[in-house]
Structure 1
Amino acid sequence: MSRQPVVIIGSGLAGYTVAREFRKLDAETSIQIISADHGGFYSKPMLSNALATGKTPLSILNANAEKMAEQLKMTIRSHSRVTAIDPSSKSVTLPEGEKLPYSQLILALGADPIRLPLQGDGVDAILSVNDLDDYHQLCTALRGKKDVTILGAGLIGCEFANDLAVAGYRVRVIDISARPLGRLLPQAGGTFMQHRLEAIGITFHLGTATQCVERIHESLRLTLDNGEIIQTDVLLSAIGLRPRIALAEAAGIKVNRGIVVSRSLQTRYADIYALGDCAEVEGRVLPFVMPIMHAARGLAATLARTPTLVRYPAMPVVVKTPACATVVSPPDPDARGEWRIEESENGVKALFQSADGKLLGYALLGTATREKNLLATQLPAVME
């Protein structure tokens, strides 16, 4: 009796990497990817530093759905959404009520941009970039414009700010935090990052929040909670992502911040798994490339009937801000220790150490990034 297909919902890095790794281990089992968009494969992290190098949406696309289906010998159903999951019958429901059976189901649903509850008739003009179609919309909106404002001074906000400034736009960044990358960097690191980005023309409005966005002819007028008024051509929101959990929750799958899974990436149902931006692995949501790659390799082995626990080594994050080279390996939120800072004109070396001197995390900026490889070997694994 032939095996029912392995069904993957989502065609981002997580979904495609699982398919690719599984195909290395099993050349015969049918794989079906269900994609809400075009289903093509591309590097999503590239979207936040593509404008300065003139990359078009088409040039970012590595392969369309047809080519990916041919390469991996699988079926890709693009522009199709799963409307329901039925764990009891091991099937998913597609538009028009079609039922698709699965032997194993992988949820690689990704995450949605968080939207601020703002007032004003210009709210619907706020852009966010979470996929290639969004990037195309941003490129279209930027034509003939010069002034861009970004909501959010986190990792993605700073990456877009750097990219837009180098591409020749006047860039402002608004954030309620006192400094950029407030969740990733200690104070000295955030200050250093701010100064380096200001040096290429970026203006920061920190310790304040946007309250209202209004349309003024072809521009947008922002009112901040400190009373300041800003007029801008394009408004980009980059304040974070929220895992997509609604589909799983409706199917009775346990959710918290993300879809709750074990170290084998298994949900409470034996044949349903989740990974990537939508998954919460033993309390951790890890929306970065390296965790996805490690998770996909482990899950592929499990799907090929070699049960495998996912192990995450130390996984430093490279922030794509050329004006301020930055590598961060944030300590575990529950880690006990303190930051030890070394500052110079050209860099900041911040080590988060326990009371007995054990390295638990670091933030390296500027010339201090030269030490990233040496320090990475001293870091504990995220998950053994």
Structure 2
Amino acid sequence: MSLSSVVVVGSGLAGYTVVRELRRLDSDVSITLLSADHAGFYSKPMLSNALATGKIPDAIINSSAEQMAEQLSITIRPYTHVDAIDTSERSVHFENGAPLVYSHLVLAVGANPVRLPILGDGADEILSINNLDDYRKFRENLEDKRHVAILGAGLIGCEFANDLAAKRYQVTVFDVSSQPLGRLLPPEAGQFFRDKLTTAGVNFVLDTAIEKIDKVNGSYYLHYRDGGMVQADMVLSAVGLQPHTNLATATGIQINRGIVIDRYLQTSIQNIYALGDCAEVAGKVLPFILPISYAGRALAATLAGNPTLLRYPAMPVMVKTPACPTIVAPPAAEAEGIWKVETVENGMKALYQDKVGNLLGFALLGAATSERGALTALLPPILD
């Protein structure tokens, strides 16, 4: 089967995954991928540990846009911003150039970093890392710095903290939570994790919100409650991501936390689909690698003429913190159970179980990560 034209907006892992899977199923379909940046293919998760592994920004790119276009036999248009979607004409529009007609449109536009409402003349210079260009700017600014303040002790904040500390940078991590990885770990495991990263050189300032950042003579002064203050050479924000929904909203597509899609990854408008960090299915936004892989394969099959329901098995998440290897399978928000925490040799195991002992989630730290496979097999699927 051949479609007239599939247009994919976004060149991150989600966009390239659905394109790669679709090309595997259909060698003839016309595919055009539109990218707001250079459209090179790289692993975004690699950014948070590239420093310690010795990867310079240019070495992170696996294939250029030209190479990807040749490999996949597709048209790639880098540095192309979509201004509007005309659903009646099935076309995407740009500031310059003729509209591009599609038979099926895929939105893989990702997410944007959350920006905190912080006062002070240094607040506008807070860095965030959401793509390779952001990371390149971060590395350029890092060259003559020694102390980095990180806002957010979630997964990404802790990964960057570990990466910086491994290269002997002074690192201070702030969070409003009482523990790192507050949304992923029970308190005992959170303390274990904190202790390991502290030993590695990360300083945590928790239960604390930064209210103001002043810049004086090239240094940043982070002010928090009760007159507390920390001086740093750079400030990095890692407080979370917000699905990019502007284009979908302007098109009239249903939005909740993300772009709402059904189990076939179709939005509220026929022949427009979404996947990746921008999408919400069954009330879930899952900005991780495995969900994108499953979604990409399912959507490609649907686009190739074999409507395929999206299913998510249990998908544990690996936290890339070598100072404390951690794998988590968070229980569903609606799950009712309790954490049972056990200290093991060189690690900690936390199991989230219901009242009859069924496993609903887990957190494995240190040596306990070896139990990932056996415990994952006991978990219920995320989306069956």
Q: Which bracket does the TM-score occupy, shorter chain normalised? A: over 0.9
How far has the Cα of 1:345 moved from its partner?
A: 6.1
For the residues of structure 1 that align with 2:22 and 2:103, how far apart are their CA atoms? 14
Residue of structure 2 equivalent to 1:24: 24
Residue of structure 1 equivalent to 2:319: 319
SS at match of 1:36: coil
Letter in 1 for 2:149: T
Alignment of 1:372 with 2:343, yes or no, is no
For the residues of structure 2 that align with 1:345 and 1:183, how far apart are their CA atoms? 25
Per-residue CA shift, 1:206-243, capped at 9, x if unaligned? 00110011111111111012421111001000000000
SS at match of 1:328: strand
Residue of structure 2 equivalent to 1:182: 182
Residue of structure 2 equivalent to 1:262: 262
- Contact kept, 8 Å, 1:80 with 1:95, in 2: the verdict is no
How far has the Cα of 1:96 moved from its partner?
A: 2.0
- Contact kept, 8 Å, 1:314 with 1:380, in 2: the verdict is yes
Residue of structure 1 equivalent to 2:298: 298
Letter in 2 for 1:203: N
- Contact kept, 8 Å, 1:4 with 1:101, in 2: the verdict is no
Residue of structure 2 equivalent to 1:134: 134
Q: Pairwise CA RMSD of aligned residues? A: 1.0
State the TM-score, normalizing by the size of structure 2. 0.98
- Contact kept, 8 Å, 1:212 with 1:223, in 2: the verdict is yes
For the residues of structure 1 that align with 2:137 and 2:98, how far apart are their CA atoms? 32
For the residues of structure 2 that align with 1:85 and 1:227, how far apart are their CA atoms? 50
For the residues of structure 2 that align with 1:341 and 1:30, how far apart are their CA atoms? 53
How far has the Cα of 1:344 moved from its partner?
A: 4.2
- Contact kept, 8 Å, 2:344 with 2:368, in 1: the verdict is no
- Contact kept, 8 Å, 2:212 with 2:222, in 1: the verdict is yes
- Contact kept, 8 Å, 1:32 with 1:74, in 2: the verdict is yes
Alignment of 1:237 with 2:237, yes or no, is yes
How far has the Cα of 1:255 moved from its partner?
A: 0.4
For the residues of structure 2 that align with 1:327 and 1:46, how far apart are their CA atoms? 17
- Superposition map of 1:46-65 within 5 A: 46-65=46-65
SS at match of 2:211: strand
How far has the Cα of 1:88 moved from its partner?
A: 1.2
- Superposition map of 1:52-201 within 5 A: 52-96=52-96, 98-201=98-201
For the residues of structure 2 that align with 1:3 and 1:366, how far apart are their CA atoms? 49
Letter in 2 for 1:252: G
SS at match of 1:32: strand
Residue of structure 1 equivalent to 2:307: 307
Residue of structure 2 equivalent to 1:357: 357
Residue of structure 2 equivalent to 1:37: 37
Letter in 2 for 1:218: G
For the residues of structure 1 that align with 2:214 and 2:195, how far apart are their CA atoms? 30
State the TM-score, normalizing by the size of structure 1. 0.98
SS at match of 1:96: coil
Q: How many residues align?
A: 383
For the residues of structure 2 that align with 1:212 and 1:224, how far apart are their CA atoms? 7
Residue of structure 2 equivalent to 1:227: 227
